[in-house]
Structure 1
Amino acid sequence: MRRFQQLRDWSPGYINVCPQHVEIMAECTACGTVKEFDRRMLPASLQHALIKEIEMRLKCVCGAKAARLMFGHMVDGDAQ
């Protein structure tokens, strides 16, 4: 089974400088829901935004605006 391996203590600052091969996951810090984040779905006004600006606008299905974007790669479940 594949799982997400986060790059610890790394943020590109701006979404447009995040390499395309890096996977992005959005985590709701209120309820713990984690979902894949598709940067292609961002409106044009946020294509060059700071990560913090994007996080402030994301709303979870639980209703909270408490998102955190995580950057990393999908790895096999048995990889460390």
Structure 2
Amino acid sequence: MRRFQPIRNWTPGYINTCPYHIDIMVKCAACGETREFQRDNLPMAMRHALITEIEERLKCSACGAKSGKLLFGSYIGDDRS
């Protein structure tokens, strides 16, 4: 089974400096919901923004809280069952 392994205490600062081989997850600090983050879906104005500026605008689709945290890392394990 495949699982996400975050890089501890790492942030690239600006979203555009994050290498594309790094996967990004969003975790809601309020309810714990996690989802994959698609950087290509960001509005053009946010494609060179600080990570903290993006996190301020994230709203959880499960609980509605604005407490999202971007996690950077990669998937490990085999996705075959």
TM-score in terms of structure 1 length? 0.94
Query: Partners of 1:56 and 1:32 in 2: how far apart?
Result: 17
Q: Give the 3-state SS of the residue equivalent to 2:71 in structure 1.
A: strand
Question: Counterpart in 1 of 2:20?
Answer: 20
Of all paired residues, the percent bearing the same amino acid is 57
TM-score in terms of structure 2 length? 0.93
CA-based RMSD of the aligned residues comes to 0.8
For structure 2, the 5+ residue unaligned runs are none
Dislocated runs of 4+, deviation >3 Å: none
Give deviations 1:32-60, integer Å, cap 9, x for gaps.
Answer: 00000000000000000000000000100
- Listed as ranges, the matches of 1:45-60 within 5 Å are 45-60=45-60
Aligned residues: 77
